[in-house]
Amino acid sequence: MTERLFTAEEANAEVAHLREILPIVREARQGLIASSERITEAVAADGGGVVGSDWFRHQQTLKDAVEDLAGRGILLRDPQTGLVDFPSEREGRLVYLCWRPDDADRVAFFHEERAGYRGRRPL
């Protein structure tokens, strides 16, 4: 299956949605980690019990949010920082438009397919 390719304008149109959903991703991930730690402690102490219900809720929230992003063609690279990539084309080759919440309210960087975040350059 071919990835959706974004223009800078199409990627910019997703920023408002990203500002809503990425905090949900981060909170669900943190909740999942914390719940996992509580489950591990509970199992060691008394075999578990109902401690796992939070884990399932956070897991479902995270799954739903990641599926939402994937369905839009957005690649979540780092759930903690909110780093995302948008597949794009530049001069006939695959590149990734790169954005994270501490960037401006527009996508202003790209990187080559194998360069990653450290190799990003201004559009």
Domain boundaries, the chain: 8-113
If you ran DSSP here, which 8-state letter would residue 49 be given? -
CA distance 6 to 110: 12
- Per residue of the chain (123 residues), what is the pLDDT tens digit? 457 999 999 999 999 999 999 999 999 999 888 887 776 666 655 555 555 677 788 889 999 999 999 999 999 999 999 999 999 999 999 999 999 999 888 999 999 988 988 899 999
Q: Which long-range contacts (CB under 8 A, 24 or more apart) does 90-94 make?
A: none
Return the number of other C-beta atoms located less than 10 Å from residue 27's C-beta.
14
Residues 4 and 38: their CA atoms lie apart, in Å, by: 40
